[in-house]
Amino acid sequence: MEYFLNQLINGICQGAIYALMAIGYSVVVGVVGMVTFTHGEVIMIGAFAAYYIFFWSGHHILIGLVASFLASWILGYFVYKVCYERFFNAPRHVSLLLTIGFSMLIKNLAQIVFGPNQKPMLDIIQPKFFHLGYVQISQLQIVIMATVVIMATLLSLVFNNTKFGIMLKAVSQDKTASYLVGIDVKRIAMLGNSLGCGLGGIAGLLLAIYYQTIQATMGGALGMKAFASSVLGGLTDVRFSALGGLCIGIIENLGITVTTASYRDIFAFSFLILVLIFRPQGFASKIGAKV
Amino acid sequence: MTPLFEAKGICKYFGGLKAVEQVDMVIREGDIFGIIGPNGAGKTTFFNACSGIDRPTKGQVFLNGEEITRFSSELIAKKGMARTFQNIKLFKYMSVLENIKIGFHNQLKTTLFDSILHTKRYKEDEKFATEMGLNIINRVGLGDYKETLAGNLPYGIQRKVEIARALALKPKILLLDEPAAGMNPVETQSLMHFIKDLNQDGYTIAVIEHDMKFVMNSCNKILVLNFGHKISEGCPSEVQNDAKVIEAYFGKSGAMGGAHADR
Amino acid sequence: MTEQRSEKKLNTLRSSLESLQLWVRHNRGWLLAAAFVLLCIIPFFTTRSYVLGVLCRIFLYSILAGALNTINGYSGQFCLGIAGFFAIGAYSEAILSTAAKMNFWIILPIAGLITAVISLLVALPTLKMQGIYLAIVTLGFSEIVRLLALNWTPLTGGPMGIKGIPVPTFFGIAIRTSKHFYYLYLVMAIIFIFTTSRVIKSRIGRAWMSIREDELASKSLGVFTSRYKALNFMYGAFWAGIAGAIYAPYVRFIDSTYFTLDEGWNILSMMIIGGQGTLIGPIVGSVIVNYLTELLRPIGQWRMVAFALLIIIMMWSRPQGLAGTSSSIIAAKKDRRLRRRFATKQEACNDTAV
CB pair distance less than 8 Å for A100 and C329? no
Domain boundaries, chain C: 67-260
- Residue B196: count of CB within 10 angstroms of its CB: 15
CB pair distance less than 8 Å for C133 and A280? yes
Instruction: Confirm if A129 and A136 have CB atoms less than 8 A apart.
Output: yes
Residues of C in contact with B174 (CB under 8 A): none
Residues paired with residue C34 on neighbouring β-strands, in sequence order: none
Nearest chain C Cα to A97, which residue? C315
Question: Is some CB atom of chain A closer than 8 A to the CB atom of C158?
Answer: no
Q: Please report the domains of chain B, with CATH numbers, ordered by start residue.
A: 1-80+171-263 (3.40.50.300), 89-170 (3.40.50.300)
Looking at CA atoms only, how far is residue C161 from chain A in angstroms? 16
Residue among C126, C141, C312 whose CB faces A105 most closely: C312
> Can you tell me the distance from the alpha carbon of C181 to that of C164, in angstroms, rounded to the nearest whole number?
17
Residue among B77, B147, B151 whose CB faces C222 most closely: B77
Looking at CA atoms only, how far is residue A52 from chain C in angstroms? 22
Instruction: Confirm if B255 and B246 have CB atoms less than 8 A apart.
Output: yes
Residue A136 confidence (pLDDT): 84
Residue A135 confidence (pLDDT): 83
Question: Is some CB atom of chain B closer than 8 A to the CB atom of C345?
Answer: no
Question: Is some CB atom of chain A closer than 8 A to the CB atom of C307?
Answer: yes
Q: Does the domain made of A2-278 have the CATH classification 1.10.3470?
A: yes
Residue B260 confidence (pLDDT): 45
> CB within 8 A of A209, min separation 6: which ones?
A50, A61, A64, A121, A124, A125, A140, A144
CB pair distance less than 8 Å for B112 and C199? yes
Residue A264 confidence (pLDDT): 80
CB pair distance less than 8 Å for C220 and B51? yes
Q: What are phi and psi of B35, to 5 degrees?
A: -120, 115
CB pair distance less than 8 Å for C309 and A277? no
> Can you tell me the distance from the alpha carbon of C205 to that of B166, in angstroms, rounded to the nearest whole number?
20
What does the pLDDT profile of chain C (354 residues) look like in tens digits? Answer: 677 787 788 788 878 888 887 888 788 888 888 988 988 888 888 878 889 999 999 999 999 999 999 999 999 999 999 999 999 999 999 999 999 989 999 999 999 999 999 999 999 999 988 878 899 999 999 999 999 999 999 999 999 999 999 999 888 888 888 889 999 999 999 999 999 999 999 999 999 999 999 999 999 999 999 999 999 999 999 999 999 999 999 999 999 999 999 999 999 999 999 999 999 999 999 999 999 999 998 888 888 999 999 999 999 999 999 999 988 888 887 654 443 333 344 444 444 333
Mutate: best of A92, A235, A266, A272, partner C, most C CBs <10 A: A266
CB pair distance less than 8 Å for C140 and A93? no
Interface A:B, ≥3 CB–CB pairs < 8 Å? no
Residue C354 confidence (pLDDT): 35
Question: Is some CB atom of chain A closer than 8 A to the CB atom of C329?
Answer: yes
CB pair distance less than 8 Å for C143 and A98? no
CB pair distance less than 8 Å for C312 and A35? no
Residue B255 confidence (pLDDT): 52
Q: Judging by DSSP bridges, how do beta strands C173-174 and A213-214 pair with one another?
A: unpaired
> Can you tell me the distance from the alpha carbon of A20 to that of A38, in angstroms, rounded to the nearest whole number?
16
Residues of B in contact with C353 (CB under 8 A): 156, 186-187
Residue B24 confidence (pLDDT): 93
Nearest chain A Cα to C300, which residue? A112
Question: Is some CB atom of chain C closer than 8 A to the CB atom of A108?
Answer: yes
Q: Which stretches does DSSP call E strand in chain A?
A: 119-120, 129-132, 135-138, 213-214
What is the reported pTM? 0.90
Looking at CA atoms only, how far is residue B83 from chain C in angstroms? 7
User: Which positions 202-261 of C are in contact with B (Cβ < 8 Å)?
Assistant: 202-207, 209-210, 213-214, 216-225, 231, 235
Residues paired with residue C174 on neighbouring β-strands, in sequence order: C169
User: SS3 letters for B110-143?
Assistant: CCHHHHHHCCHHHHHHHHHHHHHHHHHHHHHCCH
Residues paired with residue B207 on neighbouring β-strands, in sequence order: B34, B176
**B30: confidence class by pLDDT, cuts 50, 70, 90:** very high
> Can you tell me the distance from the alpha carbon of B172 to that of B164, in angstroms, rounded to the nearest whole number?
14
Instruction: Confirm if A50 and A64 have CB atoms less than 8 A apart.
Output: yes
> Can you tell me the distance from the alpha carbon of C331 to that of B109, in angstroms, rounded to the nearest whole number?
31
Q: What are phi and psi of A129, to 5 degrees?
A: -120, 145
Instruction: Confirm if B10 and B46 have CB atoms less than 8 A apart.
Output: yes
Residue B251 confidence (pLDDT): 73
pLDDT tens figures, B148-199 = 999 999 888 899 999 999 999 999 999 999 998 888 888 888 889 999 999 9
Residue C335 confidence (pLDDT): 56
Instruction: Confirm if C66 and C239 have CB atoms less than 8 A apart.
Output: yes
Question: Is some CB atom of chain A closer than 8 A to the CB atom of C42?
Answer: no
Amino acid present at C12? T
Residue A129 confidence (pLDDT): 86
Nearest chain A Cα to C72, which residue? A93
> Can you tell me the distance from the alpha carbon of A183 to that of A168, in angstroms, rounded to the nearest whole number?
10
Low-confidence ranges of chain A (pLDDT < 50): none
pLDDT tens figures, B78-87 = 999 999 998 8
Nearest chain A Cα to C269, which residue? A101
- Residue B239: count of CB within 10 angstroms of its CB: 24
Q: Hey, is B13 helix, strand or coil? A: strand
